[in-house]
Every structure is written in C-alpha cells, then in structure tokens.
C-alpha cells in the first residue's frame, strides 16, 4: 500500500474515534459495536449521576444510617464495629471510589472524542462557508465589471437622440431633394 494513499492516511488520524479511523462510518450491524456503545452510554449515565447533588445527599444519608445503626442499633444486629473504624463501610466507600474514577475518565474520553469530531465538522463547515463567500465575492465583482461595460441610460438616450437627429436630417434632406426633383 502506498504511503500517501487515502486509506493509509485515514488509519493514522488520531483526532477521530476508533470507529471512524478506518474511513468507514460505524454501523449498528457490526458485532460488538452496539454493546460498546451501550456500555459507554451507561458509564456516562453513572458518571453523570455521581456528579449530582442528589448522589452526595443519598451517599451522606447512607453513611449516616450505617454509622448510626452500627453505633446505636441492637448489639446483636450490628455488623460493622465502631471500635475497628467501620472497616466494612470504609471498604464499600473505597470500592465505590475505585470504580467512580475510571467511569468518570471513560465518560470524559468519550466526550473528548465527540468534541474532536464536532470541532472537525465545524472546521470543515467554516472552510465551506469561506469558499462560498469567496466565490460569491468574485461573482459580485464580475457583475460589477459587467455592469460597467453595459451602456447606461444616459448613453442610450444620447445615442437615440443622435440617431433621431440623423434621421430628421435625412428626412429634411430627402424632402428638399424631392422638391428639387419635382420642380425640375
């Protein structure tokens, strides 16, 4: 394969998502494509949910209930001891944090990919608009030049007056020549 071929160039583009690097738009019929999109959308939804005030309120209420129950609840039903620093709660919150960070990063990476594609589309649209504007500017200039080459109203009137005077002079000449010929 040649080095400058379009297929080779499109495979090396790093500003497009992997599905677009091949030069072929991704379709829903590809195996695994729909499941990756579904996974990506679900991780974005989870990351979006973790960034809300309601998540913080619910997490705070959960932690307060956990600590309250394991501190003041019936001794035989307590499952996490305050004496050892609520180890189970710490492990649960660490597990939640260890999953939250990659989910948030995945959502940010997907957003970055969408932003890159949108920026590329905006750049292409701007180039087309610039080309269209330059074309229209050239057309306006060509029309102005063509309008300068066209005869103006005053020029046409002057030419018509000159023709009328010439015809009138010819008529007067013919009538004087016709009278002279008739008298002879």
pLDDT tens profile 143-171: 888 887 777 788 889 999 999 999 999 88
**48-67 per-position pLDDT tens digit:** 888 889 999 999 999 999 99
Q: Is the pTM of this model over 0.85?
A: no
At 86-141, the pLDDT tens digits run 999 999 999 999 998 898 888 899 999 999 999 999 999 999 999 999 999 999 98
Determine contact, residues 106/40, Cβ cutoff 8 Å: yes
- Please name the residues in contact with 67: beta carbons below 8 A apart, sequence gap of 6 or more: 82, 86, 89
């Amino acid at each position: 394969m040649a080095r400058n071929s379009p297929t080779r160039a499109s495979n090396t583009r790093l500003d497009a998502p992997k599905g677009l690097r091949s030069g072929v738009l991704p379709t829903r019929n590809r195996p695994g494509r729909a499941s990756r999109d579904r996974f990506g959308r679900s991780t974005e939804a989870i990351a979006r949910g973790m960034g809300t005030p309601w998540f913080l309120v619910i997490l705070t209420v959960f932690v307060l209930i956990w600590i309250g129950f394991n501190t003041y609840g019936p001794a035989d039903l307590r499952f996490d001891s305050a004496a050892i620093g609520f180890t189970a709660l710490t492990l649960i919150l660490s597990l939640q944090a260890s999953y939250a960070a990659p989910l948030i990063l995945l959502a940010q990476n997907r957003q970055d990919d969408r932003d890159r594609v949108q920026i590329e589309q905006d750049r292409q649209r701007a180039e087309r608009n610039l080309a269209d504007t330059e074309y229209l500017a050239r057309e306006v200039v060509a029309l102005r030049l063509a309008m300068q080459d066209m005869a103006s109203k005053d020029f046409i009137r002057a030419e018509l007056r000159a023709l009328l005077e010439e015809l009138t002079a010819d008529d007067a000449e013919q009538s004087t020549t016709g009278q002279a010929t008739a008298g002879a």
